[in-house]
Amino acid sequence: MAGGACTDPYPAGLENMYSNCRRRLQEGCKVTMVSINGSMQREDEASISVFDHGFLYGDSAYETIRTYGRKPFLLKEHLQRLSRSCESIEIAMPWGEDRFRDEMARLISHVEGDEYILRVIITRGRGRVGYKRDTTQQPTVVIICSRFRGFTEDQYLKGIRLAVVRTRRNPVECLNPGIKSSNLLNLRLAFQEAEKKGADEALMLNMDGNIAECSSSTVFFVKEGELVTPSIETGILPGITREFTIRLASELSLNAREETVPHEMLQQCEEAFITSTIKSILPVCAIDGRSFSSIPGPVTSMLMKAFDEATKNYR
């Protein structure tokens, strides 16, 4: 069934309209569908074993992928990072790119909407309680497909607020932030702290007190017309949208510096924005109460337009 079927024109009359809508829902047009090891299930039926190590220990890797024109954007890059994450925690990558692509297309065809968010999770699988290696374990593959509900137009015009939080980003020596694992408590605690401060997103420092990343996004600053963003060596996730934004900046002849970014940058920059799969490029209006005069600023606006054009072409 086509993903946009629920939006087809209904016959005249409320009774017919509601009857037609109910029929479409019964036929499989849902807001969210889940694939578990290739078995498609409704969100209210989907489940995994309580003995799955992804549930017990957060022992899994994941990716979040957004569609443009109903096609997964930068899928190859996301799956390559997923493979690296799985390799880092010694989970065998169970599927190849073609299998993932086919399963995503199948899910999309059963979900109502025009654009989608896909969350791919690879767990170590069901096993005995404890850390001892279990050679009989097989990875669990979960793909969640939901209708995309993005940020509001108002947020892209007026920006969001960041708060620097006390919770520091995990150091590489403890749990490498470069591994996109489902063990997200470090980030969740940071976000909760920012939320209590009335902010929309948490800005985290590393153990050296330098700027690292946000709880669910990477951060860029504009200083004297140049982009500045924390380097991977700072201890951050190598963001897919981050890298795409750096490429866009190069195409626009904007210099983008990846380096150690001290806390003082928060007082020195003229603009700031964050990037992620879901947010794309989202301007920042204030950090810890310091407001920016122009939202979005000229450099941020240029990049936002370039990003929009790139994804329109993708469609």
Question: Please, what are the domains in the chain?
Answer: 5-147 (3.30.470.10), 153-314 (3.20.10.10)
Residue 114 CA to residue 111 CA, distance in Å, equals 9
CA distance 13 to 259: 62
Q: What pLDDT tens digit does each residue of the chain (315 aa) get?
A: 334 333 333 334 434 433 433 443 344 456 899 999 999 999 999 999 999 999 999 999 999 999 999 999 999 999 999 999 999 999 999 999 999 999 999 999 999 999 999 999 999 999 999 999 888 899 999 999 999 988 889 999 999 999 999 999 999 999 999 999 999 999 999 999 999 999 999 999 999 999 999 999 999 999 999 999 999 999 999 999 999 999 999 999 999 999 999 999 999 999 999 999 999 999 999 999 899 999 999 999 999 999 999 999 776
Radius of gyration of the chain (CA): 21
Separation of alpha carbons 25 and 258, rounded Å: 48
